[in-house]
Amino acid sequence: MRPVLVDLYAAEAATGIRPGTLRVWLHRGKLTHHGHDRAGRTLIDLTELTTERHQGSLTSTITRCNTQGASGVPKHR
């Protein structure tokens, strides 16, 4: 299957995952880096981000990031 390459901001619009989180996942090797576009924006495969393989391991990270602050302390609601 051909990859659907998007920049981090388009990936955020499609998935709700913040670009900073995606950068961390790229650095940790959880996502594959697919180069840069002409404007210098990092490209990732949207299909890879939304596959079952990544959803299982990344969903818990998303949930944790949304419910806790950067220090690991739960956010007030």
**pLDDT of res. 5:** 96
Instruction: For residue 36, give every residue at least 6 positions away whose Cβ sits within 8 Å of its Cβ, in sequence order, or none.
Output: 42, 43
The number of domains in the chain is 1
Domain assignment present for residue 18? The answer is yes
Residue 22 lies in domain = 5-57
**pLDDT of res. 43:** 97
Categorise residue 12: left if φ over 0, alpha if ψ from -120 to 50, beta otherwise.
alpha
**pLDDT of res. 73:** 56
One digit per residue, the tens of pLDDT, for the chain of length 77 reads 788 999 999 999 998 899 999 999 999 999 999 999 999 999 999 999 988 556 665 655 555 555 555 555 555 55
**pLDDT of res. 1:** 79
Give the pTM.
Answer: 0.68
Q: What is the CATH number of the domain that holds 22?
A: 1.10.10
Domain assignment present for residue 65? The answer is no
3-state SS class at 66: helix
